[in-house]
Amino acid sequence: MPTPPALPADPPPPASTVPATGGGWRRLRGGWMVAAACVAGCAAAAPEDDIRRLVASPQYSAADGRFRNLPNPDARASRNAALIWTRFLFGTKQDTVPVDPIPVQALARAQLDALPADANHVVRLGHSSHLLKLQGRYWLIDPVFGERVSPFSFAGPRRFHPSPLALEALPPIEGLVLSHDHYDHLDRPTIEHLRNSVQRYFVPLGVAARLVQMGVARERITEFDWWQAAEHAGVRLTAAPAQHFSGRSLTDRDTTLWASWVLEAGGQRIFFSGDSGYFPGFREIGQRLGPMDLALMENGAYNADDWPSVHMTPEQSMQAFEDVRGKVLYGVHNSTFDLAFHPWREPMERLAALAGQRGVELATPVIGEVLTVGQPRENRRWWEGLR
């Protein structure tokens, strides 16, 4: 049986933190430190049953031990990695970080517990992180409570705003869903804090080994290939395709799978795109699993020159939303971290303009705001007027 490459462990957090100062030099120093740390660490072997499932996946290539995206003749290759890093470290960015404070609605546990248990509620925590209350039980999607999306606490993209709810104040979590293993979606400090208080983890193939490294018991984790489904606590979960990539180091790219997700509870369907470029698979998702009462679509950190096929422009996010047969469009993956070269407001501005042109119902919740699926709400463009 072919054996996939072992996964390097994340580097341990440093004993102390150093404030970030400066510009290009800070990015250069931080970037090289992150890169160096990502190749360090001991390997973690996956259990034989996990390896067997991984190797059996149609997405897995035994030739090099890596996962593949679905064939897409329209996909464009990303720019050379060295050129991307050079631009990221030395290029000039403009308006990518807000000057004014991002509005945040603080949440209290009592507010969450008071939400009706016979409905489905989604709370925006920031970036792609969401707290869900589905038919009375709490779930997390791609939770990132750490200050930075990086192996270090002193280098890497830093959050623009505090979390609306402290990690320590979270209610008991029934299920935690991950789309892939990148640092802005799989956050080690968050997982280590939650490792004993989450009932079940639902992840793409290969990601279980990551969580085990972080102290999660293997028996609490369920791995999914695309189109596989399971039920837990009244929620039906289906992992669906996405067009992206994975990895937490310079040596383990695509050794774990990435996915989008459909969560169905109380007769309603919530789609979460995870990270993805636009691809024909969205239409198949809509045909097989739609329509979607709420679609959380990636909208941010795009760049047409550097990574045109692994993230979506707002126009592509709109097309993907229509492909999955969404009813309400909810843009995610923006307004929390500086991960691209576009102005921080641009994703919301462009998507809102498109929604107005096409008559699409758009949800733009403030960080910390509760959205109840299927219920009318007051929507406002909270970013307007902010610098």
Task: Note whether 317 and 351 are within 8 A (CB).
Answer: yes
**Kind plus residue range of the DSSP H or E element containing 124:** strand 120-126
The mean pLDDT of the chain is: 88
Question: With 60 as the cut, is the pLDDT of residue 5 above it?
Answer: no
pLDDT value for 17: 28
Distance CA 305, CA 232 (A): 41
Query: pLDDT at position 107, please?
Result: 95
pLDDT for residue 154: 82
CA atoms within 13 A on the CB side of 265: 27
Give the tens place of pLDDT for each residue, 59-105: 999 999 999 999 998 888 877 667 766 776 677 889 999 999 999 99
Q: How confident is the model at residue 42 (pLDDT cuts 50, 70, 90)?
A: very low
Closest alpha carbon to 273 in 194, 198, 326: 326
The answer, yes or no, to whether the previous bond of 11 is cis (omega within 30 of 0) is no
Whose structure tokens read 């070269």? Answer: 341
pLDDT in tens, 248-295: 988 999 999 999 999 999 999 999 999 999 999 999 999 999 999 999
Nearest of 147, 148, 81, 124 to residue 310 by alpha carbon: 81
Average pLDDT over residues 207-226: 97
Binned at pLDDT 50, 70 and 90, residue 199 comes out as very high
pLDDT for the residue 88: 66
pLDDT score of 127 more than 90: yes
Residue 144 structure tokens: 């990132």
Q: Assign 12 a pLDDT band (cuts: 50, 70, 90).
A: very low
User: In degrees rounded to 5, what are phi and psi of residue 240?
Assistant: -125, 165
Give the separation between CA 317 and CA 311, rounded to whole angstroms.
9
34 pLDDT band, cuts 50/70/90, is very low
Delineate the domains of the chain, giving CATH numbers in brackets: 1-387 (3.60.15.10)
DSSP state of 200: E
Dihedral sign of CA atoms 329, 164, 260, 119 in order = negative
- 259, 274 Cβ separation under 8 angstroms: yes
Task: Decide if pLDDT at 53 tops 80.
Answer: yes
pLDDT for residue 374: 97
In tens, the pLDDT along 352-365 reads 999 999 999 999 99
Chain-centre distance for alpha carbon 65:
24
**Cα 112 to Cα 132: distance, rounded to the nearest angstrom:** 10
**29 or 66, which is more confident?**
66
Strand partners, 105: none
Q: How far apart are CA 255 and CA 249, in angstroms?
A: 11
Other C-beta atoms lying within 10 Å of the C-beta of residue 378: 5
Number of Cβ within a 10 Å radius of residue 321: 31
Alpha helices, DSSP H only, in 184-231?
188-194, 207-213
Exposure of 68 by Cβ count < 10 A (0-12 exposed, 13-18 middle, 19+ buried)? Answer: middle
